[in-house]
Amino acid sequence: MTVSTPSRARRPRAVSAASTPPFKPTTTADEDLPDHHPQQARPARTGCGEAGEHGQPVRCGSLPRERRDPGEREEHYGRDDAGRQPGHAAHPDHRRHRRGAGTGSALPAGGSWLRRNGVTLVLQGIGVDAGIGTAIGRVVMLARGNIQVEPRMLDHGDVEQEVKRFLHAVEEAAAQLRKIRQQIPKETPADILEFIDTHLLMLEDKAISEAPVQLIREEGCSAEWALQLRRNQMIKVFEEMEDAYLRTRRDDLDHVVNRIMGILVGERKQDPWDIEGHIIVSEDLTPADTIMLHHQGAAGLVTEFGSPMSHTAILARSLGIPAVVGAHGATTLLEPGETVVLDAGNGAVLCECDASTLDFFCHQIQREQAHRHSLQALRHAPAITRDGEQITLWANIELPEDIATVRESGALGIGLYRTEFLYMNRERLPDEEEHLEAYLKVVRGLEGLPVTIRTLDLGADKPCAHHPESTACINPALGLRAIRLCLKETAIFRTQIRAILRASAEGDVRLMLPLLTNVWEAQHARAIIDDEIHNLQGAGVPIDPDIPIGAMLETPAAAITAEHFARLFDFLSIGTNDLIQYTLAVDRSDDSVAHLYDPVHPAVLQLIDHIVQACREQEKPVSICGEMAGDPRYLPVVLALGLKTLSMQPSALLEAKQRIRGLYWWKLRRHSARLLQDDDPMQIQRQVAQLGEE
């Protein structure tokens, strides 16, 4: 990652190979208003109603629309005339819109923001509301593309000075990484720290620190050109390597070279502590980037690409970071260092806001804090409907460190522990003891509550350097991933299985297999598990030999044949994120088709119902663990289909509990037949809205 915040004096940026041509702002007839430009002598905000000398950003919390005061200045911002949110039933025009006071013009179906005085620019995307829906802060650009430079030759007398300049840039790059490492909390996962350590080691390598010096002296070229030539040479070597893992290290090389190059071309690198409270803007972010930025205290994320259902977006939601994804042109339309408002609830980024607009958003933090405080009263209350039906709420987690938020949410267990991050951004595969250490942190932290550990689901949007073939195919979502990878690389699978079995001796552990499509896959996986149970018992290692083993059903094939899986396993879980993607042939990480990703499409509802019915017939427990489970809009549908165990992001749990306590189970169940019989998605949407109001 490369971050930069040039001074407010706007200057040309270094050319990036991944740059996107800027969009021209949409203008209105009243653009020639009296000058109330907010960046002229406007005090920066440090809190609600306070002006700060150094422009420290604040984070505000946006409230669901129904709790907002109808007297506020907001009109149809973030929704079209039908009240639909971008990315669900309307496809927004991703541009930076300029609105003036008193205009009657409307924006394309992405929404509008109306001001009494001056202008506000709105960049529309798709929101990822993490419970904390709004952030205010200065923009920090995170460059993903490679910085390209032109060849430049030196005068003979300038060579040694150029060598000193290059070596200083290398030292500065190392200093930046060391500061980042010092700033990240001790409890940060080892793989993130290892990611930084790898880059530090690469900076010490002679291939990077000395080879460009030789080129400067022998060829008389600039430091930038010498570094680029050396990078190109090394990339060629990486690509010719037979070892697939080593070939993937070119990404680390690009990270390191771009950091040095940014210093050489004059980009002012953001000090690591300056990321705290700021809005990170990038073309895209990897899950590892997202975790690192979270630990550095980023207030919000804006990306040009991605959708609300991409793994990075799901991770941001889990970590409690508000985000706007699919905001095309963000890296060219937003300026490093300018103050923006990120409104995840409406999928928009507002810039050039005046003081009254900032006051409006700062006022929301007080209401959000009050609402979140009121939800804490439900922490130990049961999730029970108004007619007395008990609903079990579990949490989804990504990392052992998430157990603190699980406890705060009042979850009754963990319905999905994603284990992929043990494998990402590492020099080597995790061994059995590393697995066990991570699992025991969670099991012991939950103090007897159930913990469902899903075996690794690498591939698609969760790459692993040790198995690049899982993401190198044309469509990695349909390639070698999840259980397919485990059954191909059984040594990796057995290592994880042994660790899960050993952890089961210390708590209520359940083992779950992802992405099954064939019965023979289930039989093969269970045979391996049974073999490891036998081996560990023979060695006298304490385990739970009767550990519950379940399957996550997330493909149409598995859903249609759910009765076979229900007979083979102790429990089933419905993974709606992938089930919707595969059923509707919609890439859930592609913002250009995000409007087609419909959790209440007739086909999706019928598949979910089929799984529930199969489990009921086999008397096997079933749960739902996709994002749909924690979305207040779809909770009535989930309950109407007969699901009573829901697993969701910890940040969504208390809101879901409050929603459940206001619903009638018998009324929802009465509507299930109508939901399943209707073949019109828009009619189903209307039924869903009505269910939530009853």
Catalytic residue IDs: 311, 625
Closest Cα to residue 177, out of 398, 6, 1? Answer: 1
> CA 566, CA 645: separation in Å to the nearest integer?
16
At CA 292, angle to CA 287 and CA 294, rounded to 5?
Answer: 95
Amino acid at 264: L
Q: Cα dihedral sign for 22, 27, 31, 36? A: negative
> CA 679, CA 673: separation in Å to the nearest integer?
12
> CA 342, CA 322: separation in Å to the nearest integer?
8
Angle separating helix axes 250-264 and 190-204, nearest 10 degrees: 60
Closest Cα to residue 525, out of 541, 514, 540, 538? Answer: 514
Amino acid at 687: Q
Task: Please name the residue that has the structure tokens 């089961």.
Answer: 504
Q: Are 614 and 596 in contact (CB under 8 A)?
A: no
Residue 180: which residues within 8 A CB-CB, separation 6 or more? Answer: 196, 272, 292, 296
Q: Is 491 exposed, middle or buried (0-12, 13-18, 19+ CB in 10 A)?
A: exposed
Which of helix, strand or coil describes residue 214?
helix
Q: Cα dihedral sign for 622, 625, 626, 630? A: positive
Pairing assessment for the beta strands 549-553 and 323-325 based on DSSP bridges = unpaired
> CA 214, CA 216: separation in Å to the nearest integer?
5
Could you tell me the two tokens for 347? Answer: 């999928």
Residue 547: which residues within 8 A CB-CB, separation 6 or more? Answer: 500, 501, 504, 509, 510, 511, 533
At CA 204, angle to CA 199 and CA 206, rounded to 5?
Answer: 120
> How many C-beta atoms surround the C-beta of residue 678 within 10 A?
16
Could you tell me the two tokens for 351? Answer: 């810039």
Please list the residues that pair with 351 across neighbouring strands. 121, 340
Could you tell me the two tokens for 572? Answer: 């089933």
Task: Please name the residue that has the structure tokens 């040479």.
Answer: 233
H or E, element range at 646: strand 645-648
